[in-house]
Structure 1
Amino acid sequence: MQPASLSILTPTPLYPAHAGAKTHSLNALRQLSQYYTVDSYCLTKQPEAIDWGPLPQWCRDLRAFAPTKPTRRNLDPPAVDLEFSQPMLDYLQQRWQQAAPKLLQLEGTTMAQYAPFARRLGVQATICTVHQVGFVAQWRRLQREKSWPLRARRLAGLLSLWLYEQRALRHCDLLVTLSETDQQTLARWQPKLNIVTVPSGVDFAEWPLCRQQQAPQQVLFVGNYFHPPNVEGALWLAREVWPLVQAQMPEARLMLAGRSPTPEIQQMASATIAVPGTIDDLRAVYRQSRVVAAPIFWGSGVRIKILEGLAAGLPLVTTALAAEGLPLKPEEHALFAERPADFAAALVRILQNPELGAQLGDAGRQLIADRYDWRAIGLQLQQHYQALL
């Protein structure tokens, strides 16, 4: 029997996957290509310069389109308008009028704007992957703002996102959240929506144990610095926490790894803080580190970097919000701290106690192996998708 067709629309190219959402989407596509005939379409300012990487082996049709300014007048958030592409609509209309896919997968709530278009052209079912609930992220950001002009701006953004997500997500036949927390939030506002939780994960076979006894006393922070919560977390770690660690362990080093460090992040570089920029293979820096730090204070969804750090077998120090949606038990899978002094104390505790680091690292790695391997997650997605057909 011919596999059902699945089209996937993403707001950015999936390769190279230097951000958590990209990593999730790329792994999901790879797994779903085992069950469906996959076409993948993305937005990028330079479609002619795109590098598809491994995608051609998994996809039948691959296209990239430039975003364009929408002609419609609305109150949608700026992020929604930035992910509108008339050339993509024109291409899909021509292609789908001949044979519409059975399933359409939209990556992120801002891409849900394409769901009504798909329904008009005969797509049987539309799925939206909710990487984060936008209005929840904005609410948490608003709570952290101290400037009244910025608070007013965040409030306007919150209301705009809330109105958009309430309206747009109704046009999707299935919402896939990455955490039960996000599922419960959406269900509270939209109890009639079809919402399931399927976690993100890692390809466990590609993540060997990276913890090295001879590794230097290095703390590792990983983040895509296009994402504001990562910038805030990295700066908090470097400015508020790191001097306290240095006071107790002058030989310790901090690495702020990740794509596109902002000028503020780059200014943190010093004799004890490294800012290497984009790193293609994070496994190499995990081998050079003793502990992973993940201080995140706002946002929504699941942090892929935490899953990868745990898969690598490194101990983790994190905030409660960063670990949201993950069943991490304090003192068993990770250490938790919210204040600079407590966070620094947790880092020093692991750096000075290799046995504790090994205990936490082994427990975290086992949790990933048991519950977050992409092969099992891909099967969960396929089962939910088949229910729509």
Structure 2
Amino acid sequence: MQPASLSILTPTPLYPAHAGAKNHSLNALRQLSDYYTVDSYCLANQPQTVDWGPLPQWCRDLHAFAPSNPKHRGIDPPAVHLEFSQPMRDYLQQRWATKLPDLLQLEGTTMAQYAPFARHLGLKAIICTVHQVGFVAQWRRLQREKHWKLRARRLAGLLSLWLYEQRALRQCDLLVTLSETDQRTLARWQPKLNIVTVPAGVDLSQWPLCRQPQAPQQVLFVGNYFHPPNVEGALWLAREVWPLVQAQMPEARLMLAGRSPTPEIQQLASATIQVPGTIDDLQAVYRQSRVVAAPIFWGSGVRIKILEGLATGLPLVTTSLAAEGLALKHETHALFAETPQSFAAALVRILRTPRLAEQLGDAGRQLIAQDYDWQAIGRQLAQHYQRLL
């Protein structure tokens, strides 16, 4: 019997998967290709130059399309306008004219704008992966703004996102959140929607143990700096926390690794702070470090970089919001800290206590193996999808 067909629409090419959402989408596609015949379509400013990486071995049809300005903008958020593509709609309408896919998967709430188009063509099983609830992220960002002009801007963005997500997500037959927190939030506003939580994951075969006893006293922060919460977290770590660590451990070093550091991040570079820029082999950086720091104060969804950090076997110091949606316990899998003083104290404690670092690192990696293995997550997704069929 021929497997059911699944079409996946993504806002960016999935390879290389340098950002958390792309990493999640790529791994989900890989796992779902064991259960379905997969077609994958993405947006790209230069479609002809897209590097598909391993996707051809998992997908039947692969195409990239340039974004285009929608004819009617309305009050939708700017991200929705940026992810509109008439060429993609035209191609899919022609391809689906002869045979519709059994399932359509939209990656991210902004891609839910394609649900009414798919519904009009006759698709009856439309799924949206909710990487984060946009209006929740904006609300949390608003709470941190102090200047009234920025607060007004965030409030306008919050209202725009709320209106859009309320309308667009109603067009989907299944919403897949990455955390139970996001599931509860959406269910509060849309109690009739079909919402399930399937966690993000890590492929442990791609993430060997990186803890090295001879590693220098280095604290590692990893983040894609296109994502504003990562920029704010890195600045807070370098400006507020690091001087307190240095006062107790002058020999310690901080590395702010990640793609496309902003000028503000680059200016942090000093004798004790490294800003290496884009690094293709993150595992090498983990092997050079003693502890992972992940201070994040706003956003929604699950932070893939925390899962990857735990997979390496390094101890983690993070904030409660950054660990939202993950089964992490303070003093068991990681240390939680919210203020510069407590965060610095947690980092120094780990750097000075190798036994604690080992215990936290082992517990974190064991948690990943038990609860966040991608093969098990792929089975969960397929089971939910089958119910739609």
User: What TM bracket, shorter-length normalisation?
Assistant: over 0.9
Aligned equivalent of 1:206: 206
Deviations 1:303-350 (A, max 9, x none): 000000001101000000000001111100000100001100000000
SS state of the match for residue 171, structure 1?
coil
C-alpha separation in 2, matches of 1:233 and 1:78: 24
AA matched with 2:157? G
Contact 2:109 2:169 in 1 (8 A): yes
AA matched with 1:268? L
SS state of the match for residue 106, structure 1?
strand
Aligned equivalent of 1:91: 91
- Aligned pairs (5 A) from 1:147-166: 147-166=147-166
- Aligned pairs (5 A) from 1:260-339: 260-339=260-339
Contact 1:199 1:377 in 2 (8 A): yes
AA matched with 1:95? R
AA matched with 1:212? Q
SS state of the match for residue 348, structure 1?
helix
Aligned equivalent of 2:361: 361
SS state of the match for residue 104, structure 1?
strand
Aligned equivalent of 2:33: 33
Find out whether 1:384 has 2:345 as its counterpart: no
SS state of the match for residue 75, structure 1?
coil
C-alpha separation in 1, matches of 2:144 and 2:255: 25
C-alpha separation in 2, matches of 1:139 and 1:182: 13
SS state of the match for residue 383, structure 1?
helix
Find out whether 1:128 has 2:114 as its counterpart: no
Deviations 1:39-73 (A, max 9, x none): 00000111111111111110111000010110014
Aligned equivalent of 2:115: 115
C-alpha separation in 2, matches of 1:30 and 1:274: 35
Find out whether 1:9 has 2:28 as its counterpart: no
AA matched with 2:118? A
Aligned equivalent of 1:245: 245
Contact 2:73 2:81 in 1 (8 A): no
Aligned residues: 389
User: Once the 2 structures are TM-superposed, how far is the Cα of residue 268 of structure 1 from its aligned partner?
Assistant: 0.7
Which stretch shifts more, 356-365 or 267-276?
A: 267-276
SS state of the match for residue 13, structure 1?
coil
User: Once the 2 structures are TM-superposed, how far is the Cα of residue 206 of structure 1 from its aligned partner?
Assistant: 1.6
AA matched with 2:88? M
Contact 1:258 1:279 in 2 (8 A): yes
AA matched with 1:105? Q
Deviations 1:80-113 (A, max 9, x none): 0000000000000000111110100000000000
Aligned equivalent of 2:255: 255
AA matched with 1:49? T
User: Once the 2 structures are TM-superposed, how far is the Cα of residue 157 of structure 1 from its aligned partner?
Assistant: 0.2
SS state of the match for residue 105, structure 1?
strand
Contact 1:314 1:361 in 2 (8 A): yes
User: Once the 2 structures are TM-superposed, how far is the Cα of residue 277 of structure 1 from its aligned partner?
Assistant: 1.4
C-alpha separation in 2, matches of 1:139 and 1:199: 23
Aligned equivalent of 1:167: 167
Deviations 1:197-223 (A, max 9, x none): 000000012211111101111100010
SS state of the match for residue 7, structure 1?
strand
Contact 1:101 1:124 in 2 (8 A): no
Contact 1:291 1:315 in 2 (8 A): yes
RMSD: 0.6
Find out whether 1:74 has 2:74 as its counterpart: yes
Contact 1:318 1:335 in 2 (8 A): yes
AA matched with 1:120? H
User: Once the 2 structures are TM-superposed, how far is the Cα of residue 387 of structure 1 from its aligned partner?
Assistant: 0.5
Deviations 1:112-144 (A, max 9, x none): 000011111122301000000000000000000
User: Once the 2 structures are TM-superposed, how far is the Cα of residue 258 of structure 1 from its aligned partner?
Assistant: 0.6
Structure 1 residues without counterparts, runs of 5 or longer: none
User: Once the 2 structures are TM-superposed, how far is the Cα of residue 281 of structure 1 from its aligned partner?
Assistant: 2.1
User: Once the 2 structures are TM-superposed, how far is the Cα of residue 376 of structure 1 from its aligned partner?
Assistant: 0.3
Aligned equivalent of 1:48: 48
Aligned equivalent of 2:232: 232
Q: Using structure 2 for the length normalisation, give the TM-score.
A: 0.99
User: Once the 2 structures are TM-superposed, how far is the Cα of residue 284 of structure 1 from its aligned partner?
Assistant: 1.0
C-alpha separation in 2, matches of 1:132 and 1:264: 26
Aligned equivalent of 1:192: 192
Contact 1:6 1:39 in 2 (8 A): yes
AA matched with 1:132? Q
C-alpha separation in 2, matches of 1:281 and 1:377: 25
Aligned equivalent of 1:177: 177
C-alpha separation in 2, matches of 1:123 and 1:102: 7
SS state of the match for residue 317, structure 2?
strand
SS state of the match for residue 98, structure 1?
coil
